[in-house]
Amino acid sequence: LLFIARYKKPCLASKASKVTDQALAIEVQGEQSYIQPSHLSQAEMIDTIGHGSQATVMLAKLQIQGQGTALIFAAKQYAHREAAQLELQVFEKLPPSEHIVRCYGCALNDKRRWFLALEYCRYGSLASCLQAKQLPRHRDVALRIFLDILGGLRDAHSVSVVHRDLKPANVLLTCTCPALSECSSALTGNSVNAIRAKLTDFGMAKVDAMLGMSSGNAAGTIAFLPPERMSRQALDADLST
């Protein structure tokens, strides 16, 4: 998981994380609790920022009642309600963690599609940043990302949640800067540790799912599956192995 790419820019700006000037002006950082579906359904979908096999991710904006501000989040839209509900159940099981994207709730959009409202990570995925060669070749950045990934796995495993599809595309990058306009030096000088990595996409995750796994029920992306998961023999494994 220690990926280091050639330095290109002092501040990441992946295609997946581009937002409008209007959205940048009202980007909200900090804790945001559960949002009622009736309120969440009023969110404005701004732009498409990602595609997956089962869902499309939109950049969305929602006015926060009584605060005069708005929440910018990633709306993960599903073709089927059941898929949205299954992933929502996993997020509800997960503990609060700085290493896992927050989930604000689930609702229907104006096109009658179910979506999860997830924390927006401004730099997009680790995979897209590596492909665009937008990560600095700095061991502190690699170590920070690596430790954040381990932290996310630790927190998920503490409640017996197994991700089952861990890969660079499911690791999102953000930083601790208050606003995007202030993070031009987030990865340079003494601020290299401002970058943060968070686990996302728990669509394949299972609870208490590591016992007796075999090739018949192995899930995930082939290129990132551990060899033992592809074995023809059932495995006796737990969250500590």
175 vs 27, 41, 100, CA distance in Å? Answer: 13, 28, 13
Give the tokens for residue 58: 């939109």
CA distance 89 to 3: 31
Q: What is the structure's pLDDT at 136? A: 76
Closest residue by Cα to residue 32 from 23, 20, 44, 40 = 40
- Give the strand pairing for 171-175 and 195-199: antiparallel
The predicted model scores a pTM of 0.78
- At residue 75, what are phi and psi to the nearest 5 degrees? -100, 110
Q: What is the structure's pLDDT at 221? A: 77
- Half-sphere exposure at residue 52, Cβ-oriented, CA atoms within 13 angstroms: 22
Give the tokens for residue 196: 């943060």
For the chain, the distance separating the N- and C-terminal CA atoms, rounded to the nearest angstrom, is 17
Which residue's entry shows tokens 């609790």? 33
CA distance 173 to 116: 19
Closest residue by Cα to residue 37 from 120, 108, 110, 112 = 108
Question: Where does residue 182 rank: exposed (0-12), middle (13-18), buried (19+ CB within 10 A)?
Answer: exposed
Q: What is the structure's pLDDT at 199? A: 97
The residues with which 108 forms a beta bridge, in sequence order, are 114
CA distance 122 to 3: 19
10-residue mean pLDDT profile of the chain (241 residues): values are: 36 40 39 78 90 85 77 90 91 94 89 90 89 81 93 95 92 76 49 83 80 55 72 54 51
Listed in sequence order, the residues at least 6 apart from 144 whose beta carbon sits closer than 8 Å to its beta carbon are 192, 193, 195, 196, 197
Q: What is the structure's pLDDT at 4? A: 35
CA distance 137 to 133: 10
